[in-house]
Amino acid sequence: MRRREHGTCVNGGSQSANDLSSHDQWVNDINEVCSTTVQFPIIADADRKVAFLYDMISQGDLDNLAKTGGIAFTIRAVYIIDPAKKIRLTMLYPASTGRNTTEVLRVIDSLQLGDKKGIATPIDWTVGDDVIVPPSVTTEDARKKFGEVREVKPYLRFTNVGK
């Protein structure tokens, strides 16, 4: 479990289409290059069974391999699964593009805050920014619950719930 400065707790893991020994070397390389310590489990999928099962192989990559041979790169997928084991978010990146961990953590913050406070987050929201009061909540009820509510349109109201 990892706790960030404002309290977000998450369990992380990774699945990679390589064997355990290459994972060990990769972790050593990342730790050395990034001056960090990788602290999450990595599932080995050297035969790519999991990757094929969840459509994590790019069709374009497979088409190219039919011509050139070799091994297909997997799509870089991010799944956010809540404690009830429900998938809340899926993001797919092409093999050529690295994932954005800042965005993944921002989404986790948004989901946890939304679940806790009954709000939605606007575009480019970060922790501490104003949030959206859902249209299903009346302005009167929102003011009782949150205090100050700024109404831009009857269906678009903002409030601040802190961190």
pLDDT recorded at residue 53: 80
pLDDT recorded at residue 60: 67
pLDDT recorded at residue 121: 98
pLDDT recorded at residue 146: 96
pLDDT recorded at residue 1: 41
Instruction: Supply the pTM of this predicted model.
Output: 0.75
pLDDT recorded at residue 61: 67
- Chain centroid to CA 106: 8
pLDDT along the chain (163 residues), means of 10: 56 81 90 89 84 74 68 76 88 84 92 96 96 97 97 96 83
Cα→Cα distances 38→15, 29, 34, 76, Å? 14, 10, 10, 18
Distance CA 64, CA 70 (A): 9
Q: Which domains are present in the chain?
A: 2-99 (3.40.30.10), 118-159 (3.30.1020.10)
Distance CA 97, CA 155 (A): 37
Q: DSSP secondary-structure letter at 6? A: T
Q: What is the 3-state secondary structure (H, E, C) of 12-55?
A: CCEEECCCHHHHHHHHHHHHHHHCCCCCCCEEECCCCHHHHHCC
